[in-house]
Copies of this chain bind each other. A is one copy, B any other.
């Protein structure tokens, strides 16, 4: 990004702050949980305006690297946090909205990452009891016949992100989390009426239980296959 912006439009003043924070994170001089220096100190340190320092803090906030206090100026109480999924998610959503990331590619990418994670969780990793308990809880919430559609879509996408998190890879988890809202969008938009939705919902429920049963039974091959069939079934069935 920094490279590209530079090519397109000359270096931006705020980039000096980003580069310096990246370097200090790398050497360990800065760590997650640390408070950033104040606006005036950063401004003097990099020889840039306080407006440019505020730009940098905003950018770090959007990237999921900084949390700022409510109601105050952007640099008062800027604390380093680690929320990669949040930073990646907002960017991916906007690019999907611009249609340069086709839905069929999102479906293919999630099949790749989710089947890998579910198989790995079922075969290679120790049983993650809290994650399994949470997955069961999500399924029982989705079994409620009075649940509204929007809540179902939300719980459904949480269940899938949770499954991919069980693969134990922070990059894959961040990428799946970053696709979550885009996935919710295509699922929501592909079934228009409640009459269409009811039978679909019933099938999805049964498929979810079968997938989780396979993970619990430590059958990685079956878990991966059922997950692929589940995602492909919905996509073809609803012609989304």
Contacts and interface: CB of A to CB of B under 8 A. Distances in A.
Interface of A: 1-5, 8-10, 12, 14, 18, 21-23, 25-26, 31-32, 55, 58-65, 67-71, 80, 82-84, 86-95, 97-102, 105-106, 108-109, 112-113, 116, 169-172, 174-175, 178-179
A100 B82 contact: yes
A198 B55 CA distance: 43
A188 to B, nearest CB: 12
B112 A61 contact: no
Contact of A1 (B3, B25, B32, B90): B90
Given A14-B58, A64-B91, A82-B95, 13 more contacts: A1-B62, A5-B86, A8-B67, A25-B97, A80-B98, A84-B101, A88-B92, A91-B91, A105-B170, A108-B171, A109-B169, A112-B113, A112-B172
B88 A10 contact: no
Given A9-B69, A102-B170, A106-B171, A22 B97 contact: yes
Contacts of A26: 97
By secondary structure, the A interface counts as helix
Given A70-B10, A94-B18, A4 B170 contact: no
A91 to B, nearest CB: 4
